[in-house]
Amino acid sequence: MTQDTRIARLEQVSKRYGAITALERIDLDIHRGELLALLGPNGAGKSTSIGLLLGLMSADEGHVSLFGRDPHDIEAHRRIGVMLQSANLPATLKVAELVRLTASYYPAPRSVAECAALAGIDDLLARRYEALSGGQQRRVQFAMAMIGRPELLFLDEPTVGMDLPARQALWAAVRRLVGEGCAVVLTTHYLEEAEALADRVCVIARGAVVSEGTVDALRARIATSRVRCVTTVGAEIAWRWPGVVSAVRKDDHLEIATTEPEATVRRLLDADVALAGLEVQRASLAEAFVDITRDDVAHIHQEAA
C-alpha cells in the first residue's frame, strides 16, 4: 500500500461571499515536502483557498483538513508557518522581539540567529518594525513564518515589494526549507517565481482548478518553440518548412515559431552557412499560463465591460 502523503486538503469545497461564489466544489491536495504554486488571475480564489486551510473562514460545503484535523485545531497550527499578503504586527516592537515572540508559540523553534541568517535580517534585528521599508518588513514576516520549523509553510505573494537580490535570497531560503522536508504553498503573480521554485503548479480560475501538473507539463501544453537568428534566409522561405507556424523578419533577425525546432534549425543551418546568434526557446510558464487562463481573463473583462 502506498503511504498517504497528503497533509492538507480541500475536498469538494464551495465558498460564497453573499452573491459571489469564490470557490465552486474545488479539490486541492498538498503533499508532504512539495512546493505547490497556486496560480490564477485576480479574484480566482487563491486567498480564499488559503484562508479556508488556515481556518480563517469556514466552507459553505465540502471538507477542509489540515494534518488530518480541523483547520482551527491548535495542534495543526503549531505545524504550519504563514506569511499572508497583509500582516498586522505590533509596529513599535523591535524585530528581534517580534521574532522571539513568534518563536515562543512553537514547541521546537529555530534560534533567532539561525532564522535571521536564513531570512537575511541580521542587520534589522535591533530596528523597530514600523521603521522598516516594505521589502524589509516582508523579510521579517518570512522569518516569523519559518522560525517554528513548520512542516507546511504558506507564502501568499511573498516577494511583492522586494528588490531583485532580496527576491533571490528568499528563493534560496525557500529552496533550503523544501530541501529540509518543509512543504510550501506559494501564491504569486510572478510566474518566473513559480517556474524557479515549484514542484507542482495548480492554476485556479473562477473558483475551480483549471490545470494542474509540473512546470514542464504545463509548458509542454504550448507546442511551439521560438527560433531566432541573424540570417539572410527570408521569412517566406521558412514559412514553407514543416512545423513552422510563423516566420517574421525583425531587422536582421528572423523569428520563427515552430513545433519542430530541431528540424527547423537543421534547415536554417543548411540554408545559410553564415547564420549567427542562434537562439532556441521553449514556451515559458508565463505563455502556458496565458493560454490556460485566456478564456477566464476574457470572461472577467467582459463582465467588467
Ligand X SMILES: Nc1ncnc2c1ncn2[C@@H]1O[C@H](COP(=O)(O)OP(=O)(O)OP(=O)(O)O)[C@@H](O)[C@H]1O
Minimum CB distance to ligand X smaller for 34 or for 157? 157
Q: Does 46 bind ligand X (CB under 6 A)?
A: yes
Minimum CB distance to ligand X smaller for 20 or for 108? 20
The residue among 268, 274, 210 whose CA lies nearest residue 237 is 268
Maximum distance among all Cα pairs of the chain, rounded to whole angstroms: 69
Q: Does 213 bind ligand X (CB under 6 A)?
A: no
Q: How far is the CB of 215 from ligand X (least distance, A)?
A: 19
- What Å distances lie between residue 197 and 38, 40, 171, 182, CA to CA? 12, 16, 7, 13
Which listed residue (10, 34, 36, 45) binds ligand X by CB under 6 A? 45
Minimum CB distance to ligand X smaller for 148 or for 207? 207
Amino acid identity for residue 154 in this structure: F
Q: What is the DSSP letter of 128?
A: B
Q: How far is the CB of 15 from ligand X (least distance, A)?
A: 8
Q: How far is the CB of 136 from ligand X (least distance, A)?
A: 22
Minimum CB distance to ligand X smaller for 184 or for 256? 184
Minimum CB distance to ligand X smaller for 56 or for 230? 56
Q: How far is the CB of 194 from ligand X (least distance, A)?
A: 13
- What Å distances lie between residue 226 and 77, 219, 249, 261, CA to CA? 46, 13, 13, 8
Q: Which residues pair with 184 in a beta bridge?
A: 35, 153
Minimum CB distance to ligand X smaller for 40 or for 81? 40
Which listed residue (48, 102, 141, 224) binds ligand X by CB under 6 A? 48
Under rule CB under 6 A, which residues in 136-155 are in contact with ligand X? none
Under rule CB under 6 A, which residues in 9-38 are in contact with ligand X? 17, 20, 22
Tell how far CA 159 is from the center of its chain.
10
Stretch that binds ligand X, among 46-54, 122-130, 160-168, 222-230 (CB under 6 A): 46-54
Q: Does 62 bind ligand X (CB under 6 A)?
A: no
B/e letters for 118-157, b = 16+ CB within 10 Å, e = fewer, are bbbbeebbeeebeebeebbbbbbbbbbbbbbbbbbbbbbb
Q: Where are the beta strands (DSSP E) in the chain?
A: 6-17, 20-31, 35-39, 61-66, 80-83, 152-156, 183-187, 200-205, 208-213, 225-230, 244-250, 253-258, 276-281
- What Å distances lie between residue 128 and 124, 131, 136, CA to CA? 8, 5, 11
Q: Does 65 bind ligand X (CB under 6 A)?
A: no
Which listed residue (1, 2, 19, 42) binds ligand X by CB under 6 A? 42
Minimum CB distance to ligand X smaller for 45 or for 120? 45
Cell numbers representing residue 298 in the block: 476574457
Q: Does 1 bind ligand X (CB under 6 A)?
A: no
Minimum CB distance to ligand X smaller for 201 or for 233? 201
The contact set with ligand X (CB under 6 A) reads 17, 20, 22, 40, 42-48
